[in-house]
Amino acid sequence: MMAFLFPGQGSQSPGMGKFLYDEFKIARETFEEASDAISINLKKLCFTESLETLSLTENTQPALLTVSTATSRVLTSQFGATANITAGHSIGEYASLVLGQVFSFKDAVRAVRVRGQAMQSAVPIGEGGMTATLGLDEAQVTFLCQWAVEGSGHSPLSPANFNCDGQIVISGNMETLNWLKTNFKPEVLPGEPTRAKLIPLQVSAPFHCEMMKPAEEKIQDFLSSILFKDSLIPIIQNVHAKNEQEASVLKTNIVKQVSAPVRWTQSMNNLKNQGQNIAIEVGHGTVLKGLLKKIDSEFFKVYSTNSVEDLKLIETLSRK
Query: Is residue 240 flagged as an active site residue?
Result: no
Q: What distances in angstroms separate CA 95 from CA 4, 130, 132, 253, 255, one per listed residue?
A: 10, 24, 25, 15, 15
Catalytic residue list contains 208? yes
CB-based contacts of 203, cutoff 8 Å, min separation 6: 129, 130
Q: Which of 55, 90, 158, 267 is catalytic?
A: 90
d(CA 249, CA 288): 25
Cα-Cα end-to-end distance for the chain: 10
Q: Are 245 and 235 in contact (CB under 8 A)?
A: yes
Between CA 2 and CA 281 the distance in angstroms is 11
55 with 12: CB under 8 angstroms?
A: yes
Give the integer Cα–Cα distance in Å for 273 and 34.
36
Catalytic residue, from 208, 231, 259, 284: name it: 208
Give catalytic residues, as residue numbers.
90, 208
